[in-house]
Amino acid sequence: MPEQDYFTRLRALLEQERDEDLREYLKQVRERPLSERVERGFTWYPLQIVKTGFAIGEKAWVLLERTSRLDEPHQFRAGQSINFFTQSQHVKHPEKQGIINYVERNRMKIILNARDVPDWVTFGQLGVDMLFDDRSYQEMFRALDKVSAAKGDRLAELRDLLTGKKVATPEIIHGLPEAPGLNDSQRQAVAAILANRDVTLLHGPPGTGKTTTLVAAIQRLVERENTVLVTAPSNTAADLLTERLADAGLNVVRVGNISRVDEHILPHTLDSILAQHPESKNIKKVKIQAAEYRRQARQHKRSFGFEERREREHLKHQSRELEAWANELESRLVEQILSSAQAITCTLVGAAHPLLENYKFRTCIIDEAAQALEPAAWIPILKCSRVVLAGDPFQLPPTVKSIEAARNGLSVTLIERGIQLLPQHVHLLDVQYRMHHVIMNFSNEYFYNGALKAHESVHDRQLNLPEMQDVLLNGGLDGLSTLVFIDTAGTGFEEKVNRSAAKDSSRALSKYNPEEGLLLREHLLQLLQRFPDADARPDIGVLSPYREQVNYLEETFLEDPDISPMMTLERRAAGRDLVVNTIDGFQGQERDVIYISLVRSNAKSEIGFLTDYRRMNVAMTRARKLLVVIGDSGTIGNNPFYARFLAYCEQHGLYESAWTYMK
């Protein structure tokens, strides 16, 4: 397919996705009353101001804290567009738009699309609404247009390589680099990244050290390049890269919004680095003075006398002069910080940040590329002359809300197409360092053609419980199972739909299975009883593809005095926590023990979301030492994927009946 036709089609699919996203936003947020938006987590209200200040450039920020529904789940994430508003009466302009800089429990920092904090913040009745994020779509459209129109330059060459029009230059690798701690496949990948002038595809299955390999490659790239651009689809993934690069001793600068606020990330953000500069205090003072002059000028706005008008113009002039001086000095400091960085980290859309507008990079790294929409992946590629795409097409795919757009190809990622078109540039990491080989091998055989090997340090890793075999798991591998499927067939544990959710079309597919949840709790309680010393307990993850089941399990566990202590923030900080989440929400994490509640149990063998095998691959490979899957073989067994999984469990003696745990 010619480039113009290909990118015209891709643009049309992205327009379909934007339209569907907008329809969903209008239905869920804009068309609902305030009370419903608050209840569903699309709005924070009421709020109070904690602090205000000035961000980089001509923008103010506010730090807000919600005063009700504390710690309840919500839909807000770093980087989202929001509408900051007041319900106070007689305010002429009661709304200001902005971007969430970060969300931390009940606090939210917002960068406003305004030079000043609105005067009405002192009136109270403050709230924040989620807005439709058209900016991300506009940046993707802009990138597609530039890529499609490119002629005779490096961007056109990269485009032709990744659309199959041009053959990539063969890799010429002169020996593997010295890299203590890396295995041969990792060293081979590092060597390829250093040698390849076009595109390198790093395929990193679960637990194979993809991030470790990327960090090792970047450490060597910065020896020959000024700065490497390191990107990922989400703020969470960009933060992880920032943390790992900083731990490796690199001078890394995080541009854009952040998913969490802690000592590992915050000191490396551009805002924080700038704030530590000796000139920062002077810049802040000047911006405050300029804002005060603007405030005074607004107070004179209703006065029509000659002296008042002259005073107003004088104040505005002083404000402009001070602001221009502050911005000029700030721009020089920002340029100095970015130019001296060895690595700049950001999201894919964040690569279009105005501060990076005039920057070009030799190499761009795109991590988690299998979770990135192709139009978003082109945004950072615009700024580089060669690219590294790293990820695993057999794990979480990108989120596509339009079923039609996904069906017609929008869900196919750039790394997937690259693996098909440039097989000679694909480097598979083949040693995994996370899980027992029995936990690994089902996914290994189904997704990776048996290419993976469990490192000797994890090959036989198990929970250190010799007495557990008599009480918890019957039989199994050497008397102690590392993977078990608990079958609820014949028990009558049927799936349900929450009655309130059934009235809401957006949640109608989110099912739950309370009896299966109680069975999971029973198994979990027996596991915890094997650890009289609570501090010696393993960390545990409880996952389900269905949000309603996650909500049910979380409520059930919090009410249980034997389980709830495992779910505190203190336990999380100590690394011995129990977390309940959806598979997508657990992305990038791992635990000693993982439970998976499949939920589906019906006479028609309908399994819905379970047909997304990539998500199940993610869930099954999060466990280090013990994986417990609970489901109804009568419902899932007609599906080829689950039929193979059940056969694998039976073959290895890892199959049990739910009747074993029913009292």
CB 120 within 8 A of CB 91: yes
Beta bridge partners of 449: none
Q: How many residues does the chain have?
A: 663
Residue-wise pLDDT for 373-419, tens only, equals 999 999 999 999 999 999 999 999 999 999 999 999 999 999 999 99
Q: Answer with the residue of higher pLDDT: 480 or 646.
A: 646
CB 386 within 8 A of CB 409: no
* DSSP code per residue over 430-473: -EE-SS-HHHHHHHHHHHSTT--EE-TTTTT---S-TTHHHHT-
How many angstroms separate the CA atoms of 654 and 408, rounded? 40
Task: Give the containing element (helix H, strand E) for 483.
Answer: strand 483-487
Structure confidence at residue 476 (pLDDT): 34
Q: What is the 3-state secondary structure (H, E, C) of 522-545?
A: HHHHHHHHCCCCHHHCCCEEEEEC
Q: Answer with the residue of higher pLDDT: 444 or 310.
A: 444
Structure confidence at residue 479 (pLDDT): 42
Is the pLDDT assigned to residue 267 strictly greater than 50?
yes
Residue-wise pLDDT for 144-160, tens only, equals 999 999 999 999 999 99
For residue 220, report the phi and psi dihedrals to the nearest 5 degrees.
-85, -30
Structure confidence at residue 596 (pLDDT): 98
Lateral strand order in the sheet of 483-487: 578-582, 540-544, 591-597, 623-631, 483-487, 655-657
How many angstroms separate the CA atoms of 189 and 404, rounded? 36
Structure confidence at residue 539 (pLDDT): 93
Q: What is the mean pLDDT of residues 519-524?
A: 94
Kindly state the DSSP code that residue 106 receives in the 8-state scheme: T
Is the pLDDT assigned to residue 107 strictly greater than 90?
yes
Is the pLDDT assigned to residue 641 strictly greater than 60?
yes
Structure confidence at residue 304 (pLDDT): 56
Structure confidence at residue 90 (pLDDT): 83
How many angstroms separate the CA atoms of 265 and 292, rounded? 33
The structure's pTM equals 0.89
Q: What is the mean pLDDT of residues 364-377?
A: 97
How wide is the angle at C-alpha 608 spanned by C-alphas 583 and 518, nearest 5°? 60
Of the candidates 199, 194, 239, 223, the residue with the CA atom closest to the CA atom of residue 103: 239
pLDDT tier at 303, thresholds 50, 70, 90 = low
Task: Give the containing element (helix H, strand E) for 486.
Answer: strand 483-487
Structure confidence at residue 574 (pLDDT): 66
Structure confidence at residue 472 (pLDDT): 43
Is the pLDDT assigned to residue 363 strictly greater than 80?
yes
Token match 């999380």: residue? 572
pLDDT tier at 370, thresholds 50, 70, 90 = very high
Structure confidence at residue 319 (pLDDT): 72
